[in-house]
Amino acid sequence: MQFPYGLSDFGTLRQEGYWYLDRTDRLPMLEQTGRQLVFLRPRRFGKSLLLSMLEHYYDLNRAAQFESLFGNLAIGRAPTPLHNQFFVLKWDFSRVAAHGDIGDIEAALHRHLNGRLRDLTRRYRDRLPEPVELHPEDALSSWDALLSVVSQTPHKLYLLIDEYDNFANEVLMAPRAGSQDRYQTLLQGEGLFKTVFKAVKAAAGGLGLDRVFITGVSPVVLSDMTSGYNVAKDIYLDADFNDLCGFTEPEVAAVLNHLEREARGAVESTSTRSDWSADKALETMRTFYNGYRFSEDAEISLYNPTLSLYFFEALAHEGHYPRRMLDENLAIDRNKLVYIAALPQGEALLIEALRGDDRILVPELVQRFGVADVLAAVKDQSFMASLLYFFGILTLAGETVLAKLILRIPNLVARGLYVECLRERWLPAPEIRDLARQASETLYLQGDLEPLCALIEERYFSVLSNRDYRWSNELLVKFAFLTLLFDDRLYMAVSELETGRGYADLALILRPDRRRFQALDLLLEFKYLSLKELGLSGAQVREQSRSALAKLPAVAAKLDEAEAQARDYGGLLIKRHGLSDLRTFAVVALGVERLVWRAS
């Protein structure tokens, strides 16, 4: 199997035999839903390939290719009357440079629009009754000229717009002096960007433009240009289109089963080894890549398609899982968390999300906010959480009894982004992170917690305890360990892992493809005792040895409690994952001064 990782051209994909997950059955529904549609999804979620499929389906010039492109797909067996009936024009705003002064940006926008219009006139020169006069410095005049010529034909125009909000995202993620002013100049009043969409709206009012399909990441720009373009229908929360982009678990399982059969055939013919199975691979992918829901009414969750293709390609070409489960092409999403973490109460929101017990609740998703709001206004939890939802770093997880929406981190890859963001905020010094890495590796290899506990006592508790919000006892110690031990190169590191009888605080289960290495499977249970409960001062606790502290009655009782929970949860994890040597630890924090632990 050839997987189209990084490939978004539908024609190339189909003509060169790449695997394609058929979503053409949705075309009739899209046509019936509306003539101007807006579809939002996180970065690298398959939007560009979707647009390319639409382009190939509706393009007048590709009628002769219909059978080869769509014949064995769902729409090929029952095409709609609109197939191959349009002049198709595509704008991609990610190709418009968002730097320089306002004149530079406007000139770049004019160049892009004119370039796409020039391309259209070349492709359809035999179908247009006369040349289209392009105005090099005025793309809107070129647009009017195109509509005038198109109106003389029996066909109409289908406009596809990719990454309509690219400039807003540039401003948001990398704010520079003057960025907001330039953005507002483009979007407000008679700004060029807003004027472009007013021209699109007008063209759809009988001037030759019949359909528009717009993709982007967030609704930020929609709010700012509402008066200029208020005719599109939002379909991104519609359950019917929940999986328009993204893979379902049965679809992922089918690919893995196919790859496993291919791998077995290769083993039989070449005497090579195959060290993975479809079942284990699915379990790993489910943990790292599954969990996205884009509609309150959707019943299924989705796998990130780019990450899934990244995983499939590694299996197909290298015969093993990718070494890192996070494709670095998606690592830029860390910047979005950095932005949120820097806001008042933003860091607290990230921590609440990482707790894993569905504490992120919003009355409804905020869908109308402009860049001015994003950059300057006071941000409440609904605002910040909604933004993270559109970025794909939180996802819908159900509703409360009072109809509030529950948002949670979708999977372990996204969770890793949160951990990395907080770790860099809390331990900014590289030399301290190096010490933490060495201490963590001592635990991974030898099951020895001493170096890590010493580092947390000496360097980390003081950082965390000085944050500008209240920790809840055990949460502080758990986050200290989580942020230091998270390593997706080796582990499925899960905080609050559900075991059936409760939640294990922190389980580090080796990835199935890493079992040939020496790292240990680990389970840690945390408890907390305040100094008041101990009846000791901070100085008294610091003066005593760890072994002496462990013998104090209150500490021993907490260790016994944590150890019993670790033993109980550990038995379930051993059975679930087929573990042979799970190391369990009971850890008790004495205020924010000392840590006492017991291995079992």
469-490 residue pLDDT tens: 566 677 889 999 999 999 988 9
Question: Does residue 276 share a domain with residue 222?
Answer: no
The last residue of one of the domains, among 268, 290, 323, is: 323
Kindly state whether residues 231 and 261 are assigned to the same domain.
no
**Does 465 share its domain with 501?**
yes
Quick one: pLDDT at residue 104?
86
Q: Supply 428's token pair.
A: 């900014």
Residue 530: burial class (beta carbons within 10 Å; 0-12, 13-18, 19+):
exposed
Helix axes of 334-341 and 412-426: crossing angle, nearest 10 degrees: 50
Pick 448 or 466 by higher pLDDT.
Answer: 448
pLDDT tens-digit map of 234-257: 999 999 999 999 999 999 999 999
For residue 413, give both structure tokens: 């890859």
Tokens standing for 538? 């901070």
Helix (H) or strand (E) segment spanning residue 187? helix 179-187
Look over the chain and give the mean of its residue pLDDT values, rounded to a whole number.
89
Tokens describing residue 543: 């003066």
pLDDT tens string 389-412: 999 999 999 999 899 999 999 999
Q: Is residue 338 part of a domain?
A: no
Residue 168 pLDDT grade (very low, low, confident, very high; cuts 50, 70, 90) = confident
Query: Which of 295, 323, 351 is the C-terminal boundary of a domain?
Result: 323
Please indicate, yes or no, whether residues 44 and 180 belong to a single structural domain of this protein.
yes
The whole-angstrom separation of Cα 245 and Cα 307 is 13
- 536 neighbors 597 (Cβ within 8 angstroms): no
| Domain extent for 127 | 10-235
* Boundary of a domain, candidates 270, 289, 323: 323
44-58, 158-172, 399-413, range with the lowest pLDDT: 158-172
Better pLDDT: 345 or 501: 345
Q: Are residues 75 and 202 in the same domain?
A: yes
Mean pLDDT for the stretch of residues 16-27: 96
pLDDT tens track for 532-559: 999 999 999 999 999 999 999 999 999 9
Cα angle vertex 576, ends 574, 582, to 5°?
Answer: 20
SS3 of 421-474: the string is HHHHHHCCCHHHHHHHHHHHHHHHHHCCCHHHHHHHHHHHHHHHHCCCCCCCCH
Number of domains forming the structure of the chain? 3
What does 190-258 look like in DSSP terms, one character per residue? T-HHHHHHHHHHHHTTTSSEEEEEEEES-SHHHHHTTTT---PEE-TT-GGGTTSSSB-HHHHHHHHHH
SS3 state at 371: helix
Instruction: Mark whether 133 and 280 lie in a shared domain.
Output: no
Residues 185 and 271 grouped into a single domain: no
Confidence (pLDDT) at 467: 75
β-pairing verdict for 503-510 and 582-590: unpaired
Q: Is residue 261, in this structure, part of any structural domain at all?
A: yes
- pLDDT by residue (tens digit) across 507-538? 999 998 888 888 999 999 999 999 999 999 99
- Per-residue tokens: 477: 């110690």
Q: Are residues 289 and 163 both part of a single domain?
A: no
Residues 98 and 26 in one domain: yes
Sign of torsion, CA 589 590 592 598? Answer: negative
Do 139 and 110 form a contact (C-beta atoms < 8 A)? yes
- Collapse the DSSP code of 489 into the 3-class scheme (helix H, G, I; strand E, B; otherwise coil) and give the result: coil
DSSP 99: -
Q: Two tokens at 414?
A: 């996204």
192 and 121 fall within a common domain: yes
pLDDT beyond 70 at 176: no
The confidence band for 175, taking pLDDT boundaries of 50, 70 and 90, is: low
* Whether residue 595 sits in one domain with residue 451: yes
Judgement on whether residues 274 and 217 belong to the same structural domain of the protein = no
